[in-house]
A and B are shown apart, each in its own frame.
Chain A
């Protein structure tokens, strides 16, 4: 574990300065992921940083080192007479078996991760996302909330920022939406995704969520946000002229704040027991 701790330290050192801010938005000049806000995204980052990245860097550096060695040792001046061998059973077996072993190691980490991503746990809330050209429609069918979010025009971005010196809560060009989508912190939210026209994709990098919105089929995924904050995403499947202009703005808030918002949107709170009582107090499923 010291090794993975080492890589984790190296990784955060990279993420230079403000990269690990509260907000889930891109940081200029950063060379790493946005800061995760779900356990799934933390798992993705861990798999990438502790396994994939060290392996691919090692392989690339190894190939580069061999090439440099060959350049120095076997150039025409250093080695005027070429040798003529064309086979060496030992190295051939090694460079077949070692990559296989590396891939088995990668797979051993990869499969558990996709199981955690793909097996949707019992969830408290269901969110329905519908892609349109070029805006998003959000619905909590059980709560009677239905909102439409499109791109916040540049004038409004400026207007909102003029009266708001707080860098964390400023509006962001191309990322801020006319209406934020609110989600409660610490709850399993099941997301149903579809489209009314061409294919779009609903993606929030800090959640580790990206799922195509396809007409005629309902895809599902899930998240459980573990801290309050504002998290941005963008449409991630080419959908025509305004593909870059249908942002996703999610506010993760406390349950109390979420319930207030539901009421303010004209929705209703589930009066009695939630649909699946067993899951009410369940923590974010990390395993």
Chain B
């Protein structure tokens, strides 16, 4: 450990420009600076996406259309109805494309993949710069799309993050043209997602090259920390899945603007084809959102149990197999399109198979803790919260995999509960865990453990109050994406909105924790976590030198994962 530090002390504080110099950020080719920008971007996007979900829960707190009408730019009930759909759509898109992905892959991936494999930087530093800067461009296009006409005179696209045709087309022409999206909002959204996709593909190529070619001597694939494995699998999924989304989006674009009929039955096209293409991307995408979380949780659990990861190879190859199987289960999102018995049977079987490697991961985390000497520091709280809540979301996934019961659950709040347990309570908990695990390394400061612990408990309680009752609503039949509901769904909706207030308090407290940390400036030291933190990043100073590993570290066979 200390031999690395000695070797690199020479590189300390070398040409690190001032943080107030805009050129440092605009022209950055430094993986740590770029990682920081991704994290800041993700936090901002997360706050915007979170505000939208606040509007959703506010509207749904009681039956009737009320709160949305009090917004200054909403003048009538129709505008409120459309705005609700818009809020749901952009909430989903922002959280997925501009919060979770940038935080996990762009943020933690950029920061820690090079550090963990002993590389001086990413393989293509300038491509890294463009990967990041495409994101604000994409986000700006999404915001423009939010503000220009979508359906008739109503602003923004309100067809859900899945962008299903024909709702996302402009064919209309019937009695109700406003049922379609004839305005430019959808076109801007397509451009936005194209650019976000390009950004991700460039980033993915960079990670693949870096991980395959820039590992320090002795850092074989089978000695890489599990977080690096998780990023490797994730970026492969990106490279293989995003082009399919890009294809589907391009077909939508030409259907809308150049009179093609890919998805138009009147011209021989097929709307269901869109769904197949979307979910061929979409299911791998949900694993893209969670796999880096798996990696972070592995690092955290091992560090705070002061014990090496249990079943390292099983853990790595469980992620590989989840990635592979993830490509052949997509139509479990489409059980109600009328696909017929044989396909349903196949997709049930294939989907349930994913539960096996997922189970291996859950049990291996517990086995890593077993016999350990566990320190319940804040990152460990998030990781343990993740393990339990992800289990709850995973088992409801197995329920939904059975198309026989999915007939009842599809497009109800049960599905909303499922994917928020794996995302808002899974992926987001992993992000917070990773954040508190690595913030001493990234910033050089320690956070206030009491406040951060309080934030964990507020959010743990809050998100469970928001999402657990949604299982009940779904079982009673409440459809998702409805702006208003019958009084028979009032009770649990009210509780759910109450949970939002608790969660929001937790998010605000997070901002306080951040501010407190940067104001008080408690020095962290190279390794605040002790012997359990054995990966390479802890051998460097906190924050690490601007350029590290000018002389490559040599990894010995017994290095911990």
Measured between beta carbons, the chain B residues less than 8 angstroms from A132 are 175-176
Q: Contact flags (1/0) for B407-422 with A, using CB distance below 8 Å?
A: 1101110000000000
B221 within 8 A of A: no
Q: How far is the CB of A51 from chain B (nearest CB, A)?
A: 9
Q: How far is the CB of A8 from chain B (nearest CB, A)?
A: 16
Q: Contact flags (1/0) for B352-382 with A, using CB distance below 8 Å?
A: 1101100110110011011111111000000
From A33, A63, A75, A211, B476 is in contact (CB under 8 Å) with A33
Identify the stretch in B3-11, B184-192, B339-347 within 8 Å (CB) of chain A at 4 or more residues: B339-347
Is the beta-carbon distance between A241 and B338 smaller than 8 angstroms?
Answer: no
A180 within 8 A of B: no
In the docked arrangement, what's the CA distance between A34 and B158, Å? Answer: 30
B490 within 8 A of A: yes
From A25, A67, A199, B271 is in contact (CB under 8 Å) with A199
| With A33-B475, A197-B174, A235-B479 as contacts: A107 and B348 at CB distance below 8 Å | yes
Q: Which residue of A lies closest to B314 (CB)?
A: A92
| With A82-B373, A106-B402, A240-B167 as contacts: A87 and B311 at CB distance below 8 Å | yes
From A31, A64, A100, A172, B486 is in contact (CB under 8 Å) with A172
Q: Which residue of A lies closest to B404 (CB)?
A: A113
Q: Which residue of A lies closest to B344 (CB)?
A: A114
Of the candidates A26, A100, A215, A239, the one having the most CB atoms from chain B within 10 angstroms of its own CB is: A26
How many A residues touch the partner, as a band? 35 or more
From A26, A133, A239, B488 is in contact (CB under 8 Å) with A26
B309 within 8 A of A: yes
In the docked arrangement, what's the CA distance between A111 and B401, Å? Answer: 12
| With A26-B478, A241-B81 as contacts: A44 and B410 at CB distance below 8 Å | no
Is the beta-carbon distance between A28 and B491 smaller than 8 angstroms?
Answer: yes
Identify the stretch in A138-146, A201-209, A255-263, A275-283 within 8 Å (CB) of chain B at 4 or more residues: A201-209
From B85, B305, B353, B399, A243 is in contact (CB under 8 Å) with B85
Is the beta-carbon distance between A63 and B388 smaller than 8 angstroms?
Answer: yes
Measured between beta carbons, the chain B residues less than 8 angstroms from A95 are 359-360, 363
A186 within 8 A of B: no
Q: How far is the CB of B444 from chain A (nearest CB, A)?
A: 26
In the docked arrangement, what's the CA distance between A91 and B368, Å? Answer: 13
Measured between beta carbons, the chain B residues less than 8 angstroms from A60 are 388, 391-392, 395
Q: Contact flags (1/0) for A89-102 with B, using CB distance below 8 Å?
A: 00110011001100
B residues 441-457 near A (Cβ < 8 Å) are: none
A226 within 8 A of B: no
A182 within 8 A of B: no
In the docked arrangement, what's the CA distance between A142 and B378, Å? Answer: 67
Is the beta-carbon distance between B399 and A237 smaller than 8 angstroms?
Answer: no
A residues 39-54 near B (Cβ < 8 Å) are: 41, 43-44, 47-48, 52
Measured between beta carbons, the chain B residues less than 8 angstroms from A244 are 81, 479, 482-485
In the docked arrangement, what's the CA distance between A245 and B179, Å? Answer: 13
Measured between beta carbons, the chain B residues less than 8 angstroms from A52 are 398-399, 402, 405
From A34, A114, A239, B403 is in contact (CB under 8 Å) with A114
Measured between beta carbons, the chain A residues less than 8 angstroms from B57 are none
Measured between beta carbons, the chain A residues less than 8 angstroms from B388 are 60, 63-64, 67
Can you pick out 15 interface pairs between chain A and chain B where the beta carbons lie within 8 Å of each other? A28-B491, A32-B475, A34-B477, A44-B405, A70-B370, A91-B363, A92-B360, A106-B398, A110-B348, A173-B486, A174-B484, A197-B174, A197-B176, A201-B336, A240-B151
Known: A86-B311, A199-B271, A237-B164. 7 other contacts (CB 8 A): A117-B407, A118-B344, A173-B63, A197-B180, A216-B266, A236-B412, A240-B167
The 3 closest A-B pairs by CB, nearest first: A216-B265, A26-B488, A205-B477
Q: Which residues in A have some Cβ–Cβ distance to B below 8 Å?
A: 25-34, 41, 43-44, 47-48, 52, 55-56, 59-60, 63-64, 66-67, 70-71, 74-76, 79-88, 91-92, 95-96, 99-100, 103, 106-107, 110-111, 113-115, 117-119, 132-134, 172-175, 196-199, 201, 203, 205, 208-212, 214-217, 219-220, 232-245
